Structure 1
Amino acid sequence: MPQRYFITGTDTEIGKTTIAAGLLHAARQRGLTTAAVKPVAAGCEVTPEGLRNDDALALQAECSPPLDYAALNPVALAPPIAPHIAAREAGLQLSASRLADACFRVFERGADLTLVEGAGGWRVPLNDDQTLADLAQELGEPVILVVGLRLGCINHALLTAEAIAADGLRLAGWVANQVDPQMDRQQHNLETLKAMLSAPCLGVVPRVKGGRPAEIAKYLALDTLLEPTAGLSS
């Protein structure tokens, strides 16, 4: 049964793409088909092929069979700022339903594992009325939370988990990503997170030079996500 998940994080720059690419790589190592969607990406660079985002390209590299960039990242924005502001400056109007339609088209490929990566955290605005949480609700898929291990992560993780539940979605699991190697009492923080988050921990990922998906995959437990009932929405 194909499994699909929405990837969110406790904040921006805490490694959502690193973890998502690692999960996709782990699936590919098992001979599974993979697909990904980065519905909206800001901070894109101008290339001969058009605007391209490094995170989206990293996900595209882990898609098997190959997936066209436009399908993976339907809305590419140049300024590295909040998506709704970048879209407004580009004369675009973001909406959860349109972004969801782009995701559904990728879902139709029927990959064994499909990941949809948000931008920033759970409540990043899409427009004056909607946030990325509205997109996740439109999709209705379980959520994987990437927790950036640094001071304040417990509060951020618990608040995000509460918001996910309040929005009617299931937290399928969470990944601890070591964004601050000098974090004091890291193990104690991990123990607290494991005790207070109801979903399983899918891995504790240390700082890996270059963030190569093949290395990241070694620290991730994919079995939980591939169980027959794992991707069923609550």
Structure 2
Amino acid sequence: MTFFVTGTDTDCGKTLISSALLTAAKGETLGFKPIASGCAVTENGLRNSDALTLMEASTIKLPYEDINPYAFEPAIAPHIAATEKGVDLLPNRIAAQLKMAEYVGADFCVIEGAGGWRLPLSQGHFLSEVVQSMQLPVILVVGMKLGCLNHALLTAEAIRADGLNIVGWIANQVDPDMANQQENLAFLKDTLKAPFIGYVPYLAEPSASAVAEYLDLTQLS
């Protein structure tokens, strides 16, 4: 099964949660990060830390370029970075590259988005169009901090308006000092109307294996 992992915003913990999902899943696993900016220049080419984290958590090993086909050095919006490089980020091309997951024998696959749900691509397109064209089930990561209620509800509303199904959501505590955390979490549980996969507390030294302990993947079945 292939899932698309989106979040309420940049830095809500999508990569940490995606790698934890891969760690917690059974069978052969595979993670993709199709678009990434803020990549480091290495002797092997541009490399993104998020993509490398997903590769480490995956049991199926593919070349880096298959996992992260669109890599940009500047830490700016990918569609701007792509324009500067003369690259067209088009939904049909991205979807075609991601469909390789169907042919490599993955039992559990995650495709991690970039930014939030409406990440701009080239020529007025959005990454959400890729998810629509592939009809992928969506896992929503909510970065628990001030403002997350509005971000979570608007993101869920947009996903459903696009005709897609939120098969699960995860609360990830990004602000350790968030006021009324329990009340905010209770509100989201009552309001999001989607299976709750787990609450991940703020961890001083987070890792995929540590976070996996807080996730209940049976909610995805």
TM-score, reference length from structure 1: 0.92
Number of aligned positions between the proteins: 221
In 2, Cα distance between the equivalents of 1:110 and 1:99?
A: 20
TM-score, reference length from structure 2: 0.97
Please list every run of 5 or more consecutive structure 1 residues that lacks an aligned counterpart in the other structure: 228-234
State the partner residue of 1:169.
164
The reply to whether residue 43 of structure 1 matches residue 38 of structure 2 is yes
The partner residue of 2:143 within 128, 144, 148 is 148
In 2, Cα distance between the equivalents of 1:196 and 1:224?
A: 17
Q: Give the C-alpha shift of residue 222 in structure 1.
A: 1.1
In 2, Cα distance between the equivalents of 1:63 and 1:102?
A: 18
Q: Deviations over 1:11-58 (max 9, x none)?
A: 00110000000000111xx4x100111111100000111100000000
In 2, Cα distance between the equivalents of 1:72 and 1:175?
A: 23
State the partner residue of 1:102.
97
State the partner residue of 2:81.
86
The reply to whether residue 21 of structure 1 matches residue 19 of structure 2 is yes
Please list every run of 5 or more consecutive structure 2 residues that lacks an aligned counterpart in the other structure: none
Q: Give the C-alpha shift of residue 209 in structure 1.
A: 3.0
Q: Give the C-alpha shift of residue 65 in structure 1.
A: 2.3
In 1, Cα distance between the equivalents of 2:101 and 2:191?
A: 34
Amino acid at match of 1:224: Q
Give 3-state SS (helix, strand or coil) of 1:184's partner: coil
Q: Deviations over 1:172-209 (max 9, x none)?
A: 01000000010000000000000001101111011223
The partner residue of 1:219 within 201, 214, 217 is 214
In 1, Cα distance between the equivalents of 2:121 and 2:133?
A: 13
Give 3-state SS (helix, strand or coil) of 1:209's partner: coil
The partner residue of 1:59 within 54, 59, 73 is 54
State the partner residue of 2:132.
137
Q: Give the C-alpha shift of residue 211 in structure 1.
A: 2.1
Q: Are the equivalent residues in 2 in contact too, given 1:7–1:16 (CA < 8 A)?
A: yes
Q: Deviations over 1:37-94 (max 9, x none)?
A: 1111100000111100000000000111212211110111101110100111111110
In 1, Cα distance between the equivalents of 2:2 and 2:33?
A: 13
Q: Are the equivalent residues in 2 in contact too, given 1:41–1:77 (CA < 8 A)?
A: yes
In 2, Cα distance between the equivalents of 1:150 and 1:164?
A: 21
Give 3-state SS (helix, strand or coil) of 2:114's partner: strand
Q: Are the equivalent residues in 1 in contact too, given 2:5–2:110 (CA < 8 A)?
A: yes
In 2, Cα distance between the equivalents of 1:152 and 1:158?
A: 11
Q: Deviations over 1:91-127 (max 9, x none)?
A: 1110011111111012321311000111000011012
In 1, Cα distance between the equivalents of 2:120 and 2:60?
A: 32
State the partner residue of 1:4.
2
**RMSD of Structure 2 on Structure 1 (CA):** 0.9
Identity among equivalent positions (%) equals 51
Q: Are the equivalent residues in 1 in contact too, given 2:196–2:219 (CA < 8 A)?
A: no
